[in-house]
Amino acid sequence: KGHAHHIDHVHNLVRGQARIDWTTPEGKAGSVDLLVPCKVLIKKENHHTITALVDGTYGECWFSEAEAEKQGLAGIDYTNEVPNV
């Protein structure tokens, strides 16, 4: 699973602990574990998966409103509980 957005964005980890796994278009892959408080810039071209490491983990994807409108993403709620491992 996982997803990519067509604009750069920040993932804001609000509560808990999470892992971000990513793959670049060139096939380079990586992973990082996050602790609260944490904000991570995710580049638009990178496929990524965010997974909770503890129960109750909560995160948000933050977009530039202007860029979100250009991409048709305005009004989409990316605030949610992060799925557990």
* pLDDT surpassing 80 at residue 77: no
Question: What average pLDDT does range 71-81 have in this prediction?
Answer: 59
Q: What predicted TM-score, i.e. pTM, was given to this entire model?
A: 0.72
Cis peptide before 37 (omega within 30 of 0): yes
Max Cα–Cα distance, the chain, nearest Å: 35
* pLDDT surpassing 50 at residue 85: no
Higher pLDDT, residue 79 or 59:
59
Mean residue pLDDT across the chain: 80
Q: What is the pLDDT of residue 73?
A: 65
For residue 62, the cross-strand partners are 10
Question: What average pLDDT does range 22-31 have in this prediction?
Answer: 93
Phi/psi for 43 (5° steps) reads -70, 145
Residue type at 6 in one-letter notation: H
